[in-house]
Amino acid sequence: MTLREALAAGTAFLKSASFPFSQAVQRESTPVLDAALLLASVLQTDRTGLILREAEPVSEGDLQHYTCLLERRLKGECVAWILGYKEFWGLSFTVSPEVLVPRPDTETLVEAGLAAIDRFPSTVPCTLLDLCTGSGAVAIALKHERPSIEVYASDISPAALAVAKRNAARLLPEPGMYSIESDLFHRITGRFHIITANPPYVPSDLIPTLALEVRREPQLSLDGGADGLDLIRRILAQAKAHLYPGGTLLMEADPGQMQAITGILEHHGYRPITTMPDLSGMPRVIIAGFTGSDS
């Protein structure tokens, strides 16, 4: 069997099994794409390599390995976990069942973070705190793009922080990212120019309706309480004590939550308040300024 035939067979296998590629993940996960990524992994190449070598034969051992990976995919294991990594902001992040797999829409938070960093004068040593850091994707991407900033990454999960530390050690030169195990701001001291956060924001009763592969991700990274805003409310109430006057709070959330979050921000005296759209044009990141007032 050639590479071309193996890829076609793998794609057909996923399609015929009626695997539930949900709307939430189908932009980055389809039978064709998943079959290609898994085959490329087996053959230690990339998708371009598959095309260049499509007429080459595939060994029986590699076919068996490929079939094993396809079967794992059908059982609801996401491709990122099978491969052990996920591409995000042009970087390859180690992922595991201990962390949420970075999504393309979260790159919007990186874009907003870079814009916020660039608003500070170059003479100001910018400090940034990334809450609910998970794999460290946002914190590391920002530090990678703006090496002069001082980045702190925090998570309540020691297992998630261990993954973030490994990613930082591999992707960033020293000094890289400082990590803090903390329940939001519980163990955070001092103030920062920028605070970013991608907190859990899925309403509890919606979690059972998510795609199987998403439900298998850490509940701690998904469950935002009855309306999805439990942790968001805590962050917005406490962040002012950890922002310098003139600082900025940036947070990812569901587009349908933006109106409610705006109201909470206004209640706590943040201004101005804007949003940034994701890849589909929906408001994905909310950006709030802190003037220094505690009103």
As a whole number, mean pLDDT of residues 253-281 equals 97
Q: What CATH number should be reported for the domain whose range is 3-83? A: 1.10.8
In whole numbers, what is the pLDDT of the chain averaged over residues?
93
pLDDT digits (tens, 9 = 90+) for 185-236: 999 999 999 999 999 999 999 999 998 889 999 999 999 999 999 999 999 9
Distance separating alpha carbons of residues 175 and 178, to the nearest angstrom? 9
What superfamily in CATH does domain 88-93+98-290 come from? Vaccinia Virus protein VP39 (3.40.50.150)
Distance CA 129, CA 261 (A): 20
- Minimal CA–CA distance to 172: which of 198, 141, 193? 141
Q: What is the mean pLDDT of residues 143-153?
A: 97
Element holding 93 (H helix, E strand): strand 91-94
In angstroms, rounded to a whole number, what is the distance separating the alpha carbons of residues 249 and 209?
31
**d(C-alpha 107, C-alpha 139), whole Å:** 11
For 238-253, b where at least 16 C-beta lie within 10 A, e where not — what string?
Answer: bbbebbbeebbbbbbb
DSSP 8-state symbol, 277: E
Residue with tokens 């390859």: 92
- What are the backbone angles phi and psi of residue 287, rounded to the nearest 5°? -120, 125
* Dihedral pair phi/psi, residue 280, rounded to 5°: -95, 5
Share of the chain above pLDDT 70, in %: 95
Residue ranges of domains in the chain? 3-83, 88-93+98-290
Residue 211: per-residue pLDDT: 85
